């Protein structure tokens, strides 16, 4: 690997880690960088999924105290996260990505819309405190599980979708929701590593360059996100999600 490719991957890893911690969508930085080094798209996707996981773990370290009283909720979600992620990984390895890539921009836009109009939607579906425990748990497991299927398959903007889903079903600040998103993303990433390490072709040299950079970026991004006012953070996440959707539209169409 040439020197300029090393620099590109290090910069992309830091940027991806920071963006994943603050909003999600960092794979749209690291994935194209892997393509630019000459990797085929499918191998680049698998390699990216493995490489960004350490950044998720660093994000958890930087935001864990913000999870607060929802730690039990996250523990109960672990089996759902594992099953959903493994399903997505299996789908990636046995199907073509073309059709799914055409759907991704619409999913990202939908997540951005849910987040942008979160307060109005809460008024329609009811505040989390107004939902029964069973109904809330069923909805949370179902939507997080579907999100992890998507994350195991491709993963770009998974964080945006998780913020949108958790924001509807968890009664907490956006800072707390972001911290919970980091934990779900980290758990999803660990399952992805385990699955792809056994069943897929991974470019480990690229992982060795990207992973440390995502750790630094992930920790920095989580710390920065805690200091941003919630209204500004939400607007930034929505704007970035729209940008992600535009990029994916260009790629897919």
Identify the burial level of 132 via C-beta atoms within 10 angstroms of its C-beta, where 0-12 means exposed, 13-18 middle and 19 or more buried.
exposed
Among 120, 166, 114, 177, smallest CA distance to 143 is for 166
Instruction: Tell me the pLDDT tens digit for each residue of 190-241.
Output: 999 999 999 999 999 999 999 999 999 888 887 777 777 767 877 887 888 8
Mean pLDDT across 80-105: 88
Of all residues in the chain, what percent carry a pLDDT higher than 70? 94
pLDDT at 80: 98
Could you tell me the sign of the dihedral formed by the alpha carbons of 44, 48, 94, 247, in that order? negative
- DSSP H or E run through 248: helix 230-252
Instruction: Tell me the pLDDT tens digit for each residue of 66-83.
Output: 998 899 999 999 999 999
pLDDT at 7: 93
pLDDT at 235: 83
For residue 126, give the 3-state DSSP assignment. Answer: coil
pLDDT at 122: 63
Per the listing, tokens 């911290």 go with: 179
pTM passes above 0.95: no
pLDDT at 123: 66
- Does the pLDDT of residue 23 top 70, yes or no? no
The residues, any chain, with a CB within 8 Å of residue 153's CB and separated by 6 or more, are 88, 89, 91, 92, 100
């Amino acid at each position: 690997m040439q020197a300029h490719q090393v620099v590109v991957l290090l910069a992309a890893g830091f940027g991806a880690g920071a963006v994943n911690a603050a909003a999600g969508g960092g794979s749209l930085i690291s994935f194209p960088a892997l393509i630019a080094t000459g990797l085929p798209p499918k191998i680049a996707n698998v390699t990216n999924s493995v490489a960004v996981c350490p950044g998720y773990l660093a994000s958890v370290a930087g935001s864990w105290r913000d999870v607060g009283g929802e730690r039990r909720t996250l523990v109960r979600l672990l089996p759902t996260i594992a099953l959903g992620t493994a399903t997505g990984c299996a789908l990636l390895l046995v199907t073509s990505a073309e059709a799914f890539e055409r759907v991704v921009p619409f999913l990202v836009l939908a997540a951005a819309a849910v987040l942008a109009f979160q307060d109005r939607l809460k008024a329609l579906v009811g505040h989390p405190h107004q939902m029964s425990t069973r109904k809330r748990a069923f909805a949370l497991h179902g939507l997080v599980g579907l999100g992890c299927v998507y994350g195991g398959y491709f993963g770009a903007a998974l964080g945006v979708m998780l913020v949108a889903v958790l924001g509807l079903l968890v009664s907490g600040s956006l800072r707390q929701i972001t911290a919970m998103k980091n934990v779900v993303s980290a758990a999803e990433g660990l399952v992805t590593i385990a699955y792809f390490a056994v069943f897929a072709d991974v470019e480990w040299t690229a992982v060795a360059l990207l992973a440390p950079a995502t750790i630094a970026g992930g920790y920095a991004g989580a710390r920065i996100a805690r200091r941003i006012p919630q209204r500004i953070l939400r607007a930034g996440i929505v704007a970035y999600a729209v940008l992600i959707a535009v990029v994916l539209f260009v790629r897919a169409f």
